[in-house]
Structure 1
Amino acid sequence: MRALTLIPLLVLFSLPAFAKDSLIDMQNARSGGYGGPLVKYGEVGSETAIMLGGEGAGTFTTGNHSLLIGGAGYGLINEPEWAPDTALDFGYGGLLLGYTHRPDAVVHVETKMLLGAGAVSLDDGATEEKGSFLVSEVSIGAEINLTDFLEVGIGGAYRLTTDPSVDGITDDDLSGPSVVLSFQFGQI
């Protein structure tokens, strides 16, 4: 009978030994945020595309893991000539989700996913045709903590879009890889 009363006590005192690891440790979690500019270099169709944008997010960090949720937007800063005397312009933005492994390390890896929408236009001087599209973009990059308030990163991204319903532009023209240079100001 005495053994039956000891079993619940043994189970109760051994529970901390069976605590499991989790992605978010709420007892040691911290929150922060960042914002900053990005430059992307890639192609739209067969033309060089240089995009400037910005992103900002709230961060939730515990141990070696940091999750981010925020928003981002990008637009062309050059005007590729799409056809003779026809200029192309486009931009996109949306919800940004991400994960950083070991954010307190001097050099660390960050992955992000953007889900959103965008707009594109072709202007030949006399007429302008506009369209819109849905976009998803994944990126991965290495970041360096220059100070406790500034991170600089370089990486790659791949953008995938739907058809914008503009004559002469397809989803394949707007989709593609790019090289990304980022600057993040804030406390991760």
Structure 2
Amino acid sequence: MKRLLTLTVLICFSVVIAEKAKAQGGFGGVHANSEFTSHGNLLMIGGGGAWVINPNFYLGGAGYGSANSVATPNGEFNSLGYGGLMLGYFSELKESVRFGGDVLAGSGGYSLDDISESFYFLEPNIKVWYSINHTMHLSAGVYYRIAYLNADANLNQQHLNNFGIKLSVNFGNL
């Protein structure tokens, strides 16, 4: 997984260099996610921000934490938190509408009853942004988190590999 993170960082810097780093601005905001697990819905709250490299690419980060717990056959899934680096792309469809996606890669941890463990993940997202005005933007999207657990983890990997929906309010320049 360390190789994957190193590769992600190298790709991000390559994009910056290739695009001559013509910064367009940046954005940041609050995110609310709902994941559909086999044992119930998991609500995730977090935030993220990014530097808009050019009219189409952005580079940043995001982090999330669970707002509720879910009962699994292995025990009570008390908490989940994760974050990482984000590389994204968007394209303007209309004057105030953008479509695109990003990939979030990093690490996190979870708590199952009294046991805490860590994991690595990749999370591709597909999003639509709507600009209310020049500095306020709403977005909605779907994602799938692919988690990589240790071989001796107490939680099944499938409990962390989830589809979800994401709603965001972002402030800044896109």
Secondary structure (helix, strand or coil) at the match of 1:172 reads helix
Map Cα deviations across residues 38-71 of structure 1 (whole Å, 9 max, x no partner). Answer: 1111134422101001001111224xxx211111
Q: 1:32 to 1:104 in 2, by over 3 A?
A: farther
Q: 1:87 to 1:115 in 2, by over 3 A?
A: closer
The 5-angstrom pairing of residues 167-186 of structure 1 reads 167=154, 169-186=155-172
Cross-structure match for 1:49: 42
Q: 1:115 to 1:171 in 2, by over 3 A?
A: same
**d(CA) in 2 for partners of 1:134 and 1:59?**
26
**d(CA) in 1 for partners of 2:60 and 2:93?**
17
Cross-structure match for 2:117: 131
2:153 to 166, 169, 184: 166
Secondary structure (helix, strand or coil) at the match of 1:61 reads coil
> Retained in 1: the 8 A contact 2:69–2:76?
no
Question: Over aligned residue pairs, what C-alpha RMSD do you find?
Answer: 2.2
* TM-score normalised according to structure 2 size: 0.81
**d(CA) in 1 for partners of 2:169 and 2:73?**
34
Cross-structure match for 1:115: 105
Q: 1:133 to 1:174 in 2, by over 3 A?
A: same
List structure 1 segments (4+ residues) > 4 angstroms apart after TM superposition: none
Cross-structure match for 1:15: none
Q: Which runs of 5+ in 1 are unaligned?
A: 1-22
Q: Which runs of 5+ in 2 are unaligned?
A: 1-17
Counterpart residue type for residue 103 of structure 2? M
